[in-house]
Amino acid sequence: MDAAETAFAKINLALHVRRREADGYHAIETLFAFAEDGDTLQLTDEPGLQIAGPFSGALAEGDNLVLRAARGFAGLTGRAIDGGFLLDKKLPVAAGIGGGSADAAAALRLLCARDGVDVTDRHVAALAASLGADVPACLLSVPVRGEGRGDRLEPVVGLPSGQALLLVNPMQPLATGPVFAAWDGVDRGPLGTGDPLAAARAGRNDLEAPATAVLPVIAEVLASLRASAGADLVRMSGSGATCFALFDNIESRDLAARRLASQYPDWWQLPTRLR
């Protein structure tokens, strides 16, 4: 087997936390977008999950979301798990860009293609939601608005595909739980509708402040991106610590990437474009 899928990096152009629910989850409103690049997942003849790539050491080759997705898909279709997966882990872990969720979603897309199942089938969507709040959006990997836990999705039209994008992470993992726990509980209002980029610019990420309280270097990442010529929208993605900037053009993005690489050689970055 040699079929492969990109597990596209996820960014939250805006993320509004509206309230904490009785079950402990948070009601959010967010605009999901995706980079053209990410991890790579491949079907193999060898059972289980093999992990390679620059961030392979951060993951165990035992039970993870890719294998959970495969078991769930086997239960859904009645077909036994045949073969396994090779994951080229190019994205940092616990970074706010949907790494594990994107990998699980890529596994579902691979298995759907293998077995002739429509990836938009409601049963596949339900399986994706059972794996994590970001997995349904990552399954589609196109711009969508997410509400509820982030898994109630609506299509978004008008986001400029191909816009220059730079992702930057200070190479310090940040777990989601402590960031949500540090949110102050204040509802600062809804996420706008209409043009998605305008709504994103007028919006915010309510997790930036609590994430920065947990990991102060995030403020330095954001400030460095905001100081970059041509940076349009600068924000933290998800619960951090990855931050991103949209740029007017590829040249401005690459100039910023070179400057940051020189000033902060220990930071991870990914120059890419919106998918």
Catalytic residues: 10, 134
Residue ranges in the chain assigned as alpha helix (H): 65-77, 99-115, 122-131, 135-140, 176-182, 196-202, 208-214, 217-226, 250-263
Q: Dig out the tokens for 107 from the structure.
A: 């596994």
DSSP string over 54-112: TTGGGS-SSS-HHHHHHHHHHHHH-PPP-SEEEEE--SPSSSSS-HHHHHHHHHHHHHH
Using DSSP bridges, classify how beta strands 48-52 and 84-88 pair: parallel, antiparallel or unpaired: parallel
Q: Dig out the tokens for 140 from the structure.
A: 């589609």
Query: Which single residue is written with the structure tokens 């349009």?
Result: 232
